[in-house]
């Protein structure tokens, strides 16, 4: 796998007619976004941004709209109000045909992996490459590289039904990484997994963050995972995740927190731990 | 001066019940109109995709195999036994008029004009509308459809359009198989059970057929194929509510497709009869 995705040359953009923002642009920017589904708003007046090289961890209890926010980010859902900028393009009014092209620049890891049952691990990971008509030899090479990154090279020819929950998530991460995305979206990547497997997944996310430096938005309700991400780094020499020195945190990993559809916190781990917000304090305790 | 009329309790109850009933009808009507509108847009989108790249020909071939080859045995058996039953029933009625020689004519015309297309449509609907709805429904509830969209692939193009055109083309050939085996089934009963003359049965079956009969029989499966795939995929793609929702979508798909096939067949028969009369 190419370890410098920034050097990868982007293909011809079908979005040439869309007007990008002037100046340095955040990878993702929400401005006063609201959405409802046949009832009270699920998200209301959400504003935040994700800059290049940043990892933002979206915290909140179950059912608060975290996954909805993630699906709004790459246009899988459309907001009722507000604007969403992705790679400098306003995606809220964008036709689905144009969105398909834009989405190929972002990788997404779904809650349960969302692997295609009828395809082998190789074809799942290579899904995007197959659609683009990449030659089989190159596909095999890149799939093996991606699977090696998640330490699952031996699953190359298996089908998703024969994988455990943790292995499915790791294959999903490989699928999201194979196209060298410019943004990664993780939807509760450790949800429903045992602590050991969760740590393996978090280690992979830390490895991805520190090796490729891809901007990421990660949804979780598990504080332990969020804190591990913030207080650890990947040591390439040792080939594993190691804790940062005591009192240090990753400066590019910050937090967002949702409560009943509202964004109630946006800041660093230090700010999170010292906030006076009653709901955040209850959540942390 | 007018005084406000005080309603008695039973009258108030009746008014409330009437209002609730009207609200219920209103909601159901709106839901129906909305579903028809969604279906029309869905079907239009699925058809138009064939005229714009990318086209997924390997998926078309896979679906043709699943729908066409996979349904051959049930279509063949149902056609054969329906033809047999037709021969049994018609022979007993025609013998009262001394017209058992007309059995072949009766079986071939009934099979080719009506029973072949409708029976094939209903059988394939039971097998494939359900499989499409449950397969796509499962993909929706396990987020595989969202994953496909997130990977930059249009599920309408990749999943729906190949199924639609595979079903239309395969139903055409399956109907021919059902017609042929229906006539063979009728021949089997005529020769081995009714002990009548075989060549007479087959020659009357052949001579009775006219060009409009063939056209009638081969136009109908094109519509049935469209109904089966579009309804199966439509209910599959709008599945919600987890595994229970998948079951609900499957039932709705089979019921709607089967009823629509018979409903559309009625109008098509009227139109085609008036065209060829």
Is residue A192 within 8 Å of residue A216, measured between CB atoms?
Answer: no
Q: Which of B139, B143, B152 sits opposite A100 (nearest CB)?
A: B152
Report d(CA A156, CA A237) in Å as an integer: 26
Q: Summarize pLDDT for B183-197 with one digit per residue, the tens.
A: 999 999 999 998 888
Instruction: Find the residue in A nearest to B143 (Cα).
Output: A114
Q: Chain A partners of B141 at a C-beta cutoff of 8 Å?
A: none
Report d(CA A189, CA A57) in Å as an integer: 12
Q: What is the mean pLDDT of residues B217-244?
A: 95
Return mean pLDDT, chain B.
Answer: 92
Q: Which of A96, A114, A128 sits opposite B146 (nearest CB)?
A: A114
Q: What is the pLDDT of residue A11?
A: 38
Whether B15 maps to a domain, the answer reads no
Single out the residue of A234, A262, A236, A266 nearest to residue A250, CA to CA.
A234
Whether B32 maps to a domain, the answer reads no
Q: Chain B partners of A97 at a C-beta cutoff of 8 Å?
A: 154
Instruction: Find the residue in A nearest to B53 (Cα).
Output: A97
Residue B200 has pLDDT above 60, yes or no: yes
Whether residues B153 and A100 touch (CB distance < 8 A) is answered with yes
Q: How many beta-carbon pairs below 8 A join chains A and B?
A: 53
Could you tell me the strand order of the sheet in which A89-90 lies? A41-50, A28-36, A81-86, A89-90
List, in sequence order, the alpha helices (H) in B95-210. 103-110, 116-124, 130-141, 144-150, 155, 161-188, 198-207
Report d(CA B108, CA B87) in Å as an integer: 10
**pLDDT band, very low/low/confident/very high, at B9 (cuts 50, 70, 90):** low
Q: What is the mean pLDDT of residues B86-102?
A: 86
Best residue of B150, B155, B238 to probe chain A, by most A CBs closer than 10 Å: B150
Q: Which of A101, A114, A131 sits opposite B144 (nearest CB)?
A: A114
Predicted complex ipTM? 0.86
**pLDDT band, very low/low/confident/very high, at B99 (cuts 50, 70, 90):** confident
Q: What is the pLDDT of residue B161?
A: 96
> A25-284: what CATH class?
alpha beta
Residue A279 has pLDDT above 90, yes or no: no
Residue A226 has pLDDT above 60, yes or no: yes
The per-residue DSSP string of chain A comes to --S-GGGSPP---TTTTS-PPSSS--SEEEEEEEEESSSSEEEEEEEEEE-TT-EEEEE--TTSSHHHHHHHHTTSS--SEEEEEETTEE-TT--HHHHHHHHTTEEEE-TT----TTS-HHHHHTHHHHHTT--HHHHHHHHHHHHHHTT-GGGTT--GGGS-HHHHHHHHHHHHHTT--SEEEEESTTTT--HHHHHHHHHHHHHHHHHH---EEEEES-HHHHHHHHHEEEETTTTEEEEPSTT---TTEEEEEEETTEEEEEE-HHHHHT---HHHHHHH-
- Sign of the C-alpha dihedral computed for residues B24, B26, B29 and B31 taken in this order: negative
Q: What is the pLDDT of residue A247?
A: 84
> Rounded to an integer, what is the distance from CA A273 to the centroid of its chain?
24
CB atoms within 10 A of CB A52: 15
Whether B18 maps to a domain, the answer reads no
Three-state DSSP class for residue B88? helix
Q: Summarize pLDDT for A19-28 with one digit per residue, the tens.
A: 344 446 799 9
Q: What is the pLDDT of residue A284?
A: 84
Q: Residues near B162 by Cβ (< 8 Å), separated by ≥ 6?
A: B56, B57, B59, B60, B62, B63
Q: How many residues does chain B have?
A: 277
> Rounded to an integer, what is the distance from CA B187 to the centroid of its chain?
27
The pair of three-digit structure tokens given for residue B87, joined into one six-digit string: 């021969």
**pLDDT band, very low/low/confident/very high, at B17 (cuts 50, 70, 90):** confident
Q: What is the pLDDT of residue A194?
A: 87
Residue B223 has pLDDT above 70, yes or no: yes
Q: Summarize pLDDT for B116-126 with one digit per residue, the tens.
A: 999 999 999 99
Whether the ω angle into residue B54 lies within 30 degrees of 0, i.e. cis, is yes
Q: What is the mean pLDDT of residues B4-17?
A: 69
Q: How many residues does chain A have?
A: 285
Report d(CA A215, CA A118) in Å as an integer: 31
CB atoms within 10 A of CB B169: 18
**pLDDT band, very low/low/confident/very high, at B6 (cuts 50, 70, 90):** low
Any CB–CB contact under 8 A between B31 and chain A? no
Residue B225 has pLDDT above 80, yes or no: yes
Phi, psi of A119 (to 5 degrees): -110, 150
Strand A183-187 and strand A106-109: the pairing is parallel
Report d(CA A237, CA A199) in Å as an integer: 19
> Rounded to an integer, what is the distance from CA B238 to the centroid of its chain?
19
- Range with the lowest mean pLDDT among A9-13, A57-61, A76-80, B155-159? A9-13
Residue A10 has pLDDT above 50, yes or no: no
- DSSP code for B6: P
Q: Chain A partners of B148 at a C-beta cutoff of 8 Å?
A: 116, 127
Q: Summarize pLDDT for A129-143 with one digit per residue, the tens.
A: 999 999 999 999 999
Report d(CA B96, CA B100) in Å as an integer: 9
Q: Summarize pLDDT for B129-139 with one digit per residue, the tens.
A: 999 999 999 99
How many folded domains does chain B comprise? Answer: 1
Whether B6 maps to a domain, the answer reads no
Q: What is the mean pLDDT of residues B227-236?
A: 97
Q: What is the pLDDT of residue A21?
A: 42
Q: What is the pLDDT of residue B82?
A: 95
Q: What is the pLDDT of residue A276?
A: 86
Whether B187 maps to a domain, the answer reads yes
Q: What is the domain extent for residue B224?
A: 57-276
Q: What is the mean pLDDT of residues A73-88?
A: 94
Q: Chain A partners of B150 at a C-beta cutoff of 8 Å?
A: 74, 76, 103, 106, 108, 110
Q: What is the pLDDT of residue B4?
A: 58
Return mean pLDDT, chain A.
Answer: 88
């Amino acid at each position: 796998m190419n370890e410098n995705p920034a050097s990868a040359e982007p293909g011809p953009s079908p979005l040439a007619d869309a007007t990008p923002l002037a100046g340095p642009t955040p990878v993702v920017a929400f401005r006063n976004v609201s959405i409802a589904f046949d009832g009270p708003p699920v998200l209301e007046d959400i504003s935040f941004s994700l800059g290049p090289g940043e990892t933002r961890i979206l915290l909140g209890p179950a059912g608060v709209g975290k996954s909805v926010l993630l699906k709004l980010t790459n246009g899988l859902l459309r907001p009722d109000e507000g604007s969403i900028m992705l790679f400098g393009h306003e995606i809220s009014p964008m036709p689905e045909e144009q969105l398909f092209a834009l989405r190929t620049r972002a990788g997404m890891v779904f809650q349960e992996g969302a692997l295609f049952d009828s395809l082998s691990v190789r074809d799942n990971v290579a899904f995007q490459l197959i659609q683009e008509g990449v030659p089989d030899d190159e596909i095999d090479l890149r799939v093996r590289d991606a699977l090696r990154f998640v330490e699952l090279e031996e699953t190359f020819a298996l089908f998703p039904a024969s994988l455990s929950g943790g292995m499915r998530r790791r294959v999903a991460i490989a699928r999201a990484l194979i196209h060298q995305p410019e943004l990664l979206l993780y939807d509760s990547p450790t949800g429903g997994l045992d602590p050991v497997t969760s740590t393996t997944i978090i280690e992979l996310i830390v490895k991805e963050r520190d090796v490729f430096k891809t901007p990421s938005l990660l949804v979780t309700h598990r504080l332990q995972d969020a804190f591990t991400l913030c207080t650890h780094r990947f040591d390439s020499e040792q080939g594993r995740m190691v804790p940062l020195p005591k009192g240090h945190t990753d400066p590019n990993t910050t937090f967002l927190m949702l409560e009943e559809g509202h964004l109630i916190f946006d800041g660093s781990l230090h700010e999170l731990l010292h906030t006076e917000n009653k709901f955040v304090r209850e959540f942390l305790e | 001066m007018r005084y406000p009329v005080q309603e008695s309790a039973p009258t108030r109850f009746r008014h409330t019940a009437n209002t609730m009933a009207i609200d219920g009808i209103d909601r159901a009507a709106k839901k129906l109109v909305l579903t028809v509108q969604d279906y029309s847009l869905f079907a239009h989108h699925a058809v138009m995709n064939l005229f714009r790249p990318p086209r997924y020909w390997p998926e078309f071939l896979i679906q043709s195999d699943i729908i066409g080859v996979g349904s051959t045995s049930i279509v063949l058996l149902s056609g054969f036994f329906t033809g047999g039953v037709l021969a049994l029933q018609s022979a007993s009625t025609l013998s009262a008029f001394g017209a058992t020689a007309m059995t072949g004519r009766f079986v071939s015309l009934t099979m080719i004009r009506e029973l072949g297309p409708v029976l094939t449509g209903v059988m394939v609907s039971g097998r494939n509308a359900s499989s499409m709805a449950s397969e796509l429904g499962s993909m929706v509830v396990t987020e595989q459809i969202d994953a496909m969209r997130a990977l930059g692939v249009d599920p309408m193009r990749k999943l729906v359009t190949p199924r639609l055109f595979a079903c239309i083309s395969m139903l055409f050939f399956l109907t021919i198989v059902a017609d042929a085996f229906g006539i063979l089934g009728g021949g089997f009963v005529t020769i081995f059970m009714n002990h009548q003359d075989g060549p007479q049965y087959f020659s009357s079956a052949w001579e009775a057929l006219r060009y409009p009969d063939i056209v009638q029989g081969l136009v109908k499966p094109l519509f049935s194929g469209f109904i089966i795939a579009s309804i199966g995929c439509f209910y599959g793609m709008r599945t919600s509510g987890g595994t229970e929702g998948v079951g609900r979508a499957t039932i709705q798909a089979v019921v709607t497709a089967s009823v629509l096939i018979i409903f559309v067949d009625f109008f098509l028969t009227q139109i085609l009869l008036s065209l060829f009369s």
